[in-house]
A and B are shown apart, each in its own frame.
Chain A
């Protein structure tokens, strides 16, 4: 079963454990500057929103890559960059409408979320369940359920 990252910004406290977990997993160092997931804060922190790649089924980055360095992992559904092939042309960073694939000056390659091969560390590290890893077919389920329960103002 393919799973996807589910982000619930209302639960995010901007602790940035996810950013450290991501960089630690991929680079072996605690370094938010190399994290594939970033937290964005608005209005003095009233809202903080984790943002990362959503693993498009028909990905712009994959299509744009001139050397076919970007492929789709059949098991996890993640869109992955092969560092051995990537030439750092950065055309994928232009193609992605969400900005979630970025260039890494230190390596000369692009980096993006790859779901940690099926065990995303950001979700594991998140203390509030602002990031969870759920059935890709039902990322809306919890919200649907809450909506149903709220009754939309109809009498109980």
Chain B
């Protein structure tokens, strides 16, 4: 067990929904969530398909440990071909929705085709309905969830939905579940919108079982105890991930003003201390910390906006609490756009969840627009009369709302920075890899991070590798290939279990995952098998991308990071040493110098048929 052994397949073109047995050969080879979703994606679509066309397949994938008492068991992934990148998209989310899909009896939900008119899915155990979404199409994520729960008179439903941004094809539109958690990156929300699918609402009463309950619970309890004792877990609980902003500032790797700089003078106004400071009028940003399903870390923030702040002073509908800022939102609405107004950041964060957009890509796209504006390449005539200068908090919040509603210049921002900068004839100001914007770590200060960004299968992503320790110890590119590859494989495995990556950051070694998987799932799952599974998953993702038309030329970084030295911080004077690291990386991966997995590597991983 662990798995439900059941997949729900929905064809929106024909309006049918049927369940089928889970392919257990694939489950044994790819585990679940990211890995299993990738296998199903490969087998169900042509990687050359148009990401916003009906032949793209949208998959919601849980892991074998989703919905169990293992700590952090709320994770699920959304997979498809990404419209932002043209590469595989695998976006991870927490909250409660993924666990609920599992409790309803499903490992995976596959969505094919395109509905003739807007619809939403209503799933209660075996009962699956495709229902008209007329009343909610064109409205926000928050309104959608409220409407669905009221309409079905079922407050126990969990809802994953898109906002207007996803409906209108904003390239970085995301899927929001449980009001303020998200499958954020690569434009998975736009894919859902292209299928005329507004939301998936789910309630489950079947439950989840494990193969060896006694052994599993012992392992789960050990996992809980490790986290309880961990100092890095304590930090995540108390400060959320935004604890990083002060570290990155001091380290000198904090991308500022579209990566022109690596340190930002305003961090003390938007860091965790600022979030708990009480203003003269009594307002305090942070209200509470919250957890995703099953999580004993609780890094989530709940915050509210000062009622007197310009963004909400006349808008009572935004006076309530909701998801507060974490590190990436802080980076994307703070240093990279030069803004240091905590309430503006928080409001923009609310808008991301309300309208369904990725804050990382929005912020970095806005940063590129600000650079274009400051260089005079675009003017107020282009930007709806808004002064798009770095540091302009009103520009941040006004543009966030315009993009969410797909209005005015928001339609241009909604292209993502790559297409936008190409549109204005200056692709060099787009800070992306494979079309996806960077997260809050500068590749010149963190060399291994740069290699990870360049080689991540879904475009620039900070989560698919973990070489922080090596990057802190040695700020050159030497010896980064091995830890990059090893961590990529390990994380691909973790992303396939149904548990959260942060457990690894908060005290768990790989043994903790191994014990719980081995006890929960049929068969033997020694560590070597799990790590090999991770390597197999990474290579399968690579094969998808190669078939989609990507090449080694796409494993690169923007000129700014390769040629413009970091102006300050511990890496002052450095550029990315990608050219040195990449060949080492390909070799260590068992790939050709052109970045293609060799026949031997594929055969070793059981992917020989793809050679």
- Chain A contacts to B: CB under 8 angstroms: 10, 13-17, 20-21, 23-24, 27-34, 43-48, 106, 125, 127-128
A19 nearest CB across to chain B (Å): 9
A59 nearest CB across to chain B (Å): 26
Asked if A33 contacts B296 (CB within 8 A), the reply is: no
* A24-B205 contact in complex given A13-B298, A14-B291, A15-B293, C-beta closer than 8 Å: no
Cβ contact of A29, chosen from B209, B289, B290, cutoff 8 A: B209
**A24–B103 CA distance with the chains assembled, in angstroms:** 13
B603 nearest CB across to chain A (Å): 39
Chain A residue numbers with a CB within 8 Å of B288 are 10, 13, 45-47
**A27–B209 CA distance with the chains assembled, in angstroms:** 10
With CB as the reference atom, state the residue of chain A lying closest to B156: A33
**A27–B180 CA distance with the chains assembled, in angstroms:** 31
- Chain B contacts to A: CB under 8 angstroms: 67-69, 71, 96, 99, 103, 156, 179-180, 203-210, 213, 217, 224, 227-228, 287-296, 298, 300, 302, 304, 320-323
Asked if A44 contacts B180 (CB within 8 A), the reply is: yes
**A13–B71 CA distance with the chains assembled, in angstroms:** 13
* A46-B298 contact in complex given A30-B68, A30-B69, C-beta closer than 8 Å: no
With CB as the reference atom, state the residue of chain B lying closest to A23: B207
Cβ contact of B207, chosen from A30, A43, A48, cutoff 8 A: A30
List the 10 closest pairs (A to B, CB-CB), nearest first: A31-B207, A127-B296, A29-B207, A33-B205, A46-B321, A15-B291, A13-B298, A13-B291, A44-B322, A30-B208
**A16–B294 CA distance with the chains assembled, in angstroms:** 6
Chain A residue numbers with a CB within 8 Å of B291 are 13-15
* CB pairs A–B below 8 angstroms (14 shown): A13-B295, A17-B71, A24-B69, A29-B207, A30-B69, A30-B103, A31-B103, A33-B205, A44-B179, A44-B302, A44-B323, A127-B227, A127-B296, A128-B298
Chain A residue numbers with a CB within 8 Å of B103 are 30-33
* A46-B208 contact in complex given A15-B293, A15-B294, C-beta closer than 8 Å: no
With CB as the reference atom, state the residue of chain B lying closest to A128: B298
**A47–B290 CA distance with the chains assembled, in angstroms:** 9
With CB as the reference atom, state the residue of chain A lying closest to B208: A30
Chain B residue numbers with a CB within 8 Å of A34 are 205, 207
Chain B residue numbers with a CB within 8 Å of A28 are 209, 213
Residue of B99, B224, B291, B295 contacting most chain A CB atoms (<10 Å): B291
Chain B residue numbers with a CB within 8 Å of A32 are 103
Chain A residue numbers with a CB within 8 Å of B292 are 15
Asked if A44 contacts B204 (CB within 8 A), the reply is: no
Chain A residue numbers with a CB within 8 Å of B321 are 43-46
A154 nearest CB across to chain B (Å): 22
With CB as the reference atom, state the residue of chain A lying closest to B321: A46
Known: A17-B71, A33-B156. 11 other contacts (CB 8 A): A10-B288, A15-B291, A16-B293, A20-B68, A30-B67, A31-B207, A45-B179, A45-B321, A46-B287, A46-B320, A127-B71
B210 nearest CB across to chain A (Å): 8
Cβ contact of B302, chosen from A15, A23, A46, cutoff 8 A: A46
Chain A residue numbers with a CB within 8 Å of B290 are 13-14, 45, 48
**A31–B100 CA distance with the chains assembled, in angstroms:** 9
**A16–B180 CA distance with the chains assembled, in angstroms:** 17
With CB as the reference atom, state the residue of chain B lying closest to A33: B205
With CB as the reference atom, state the residue of chain A lying closest to B320: A43
A9 nearest CB across to chain B (Å): 10
Chain A residue numbers with a CB within 8 Å of B323 are 44
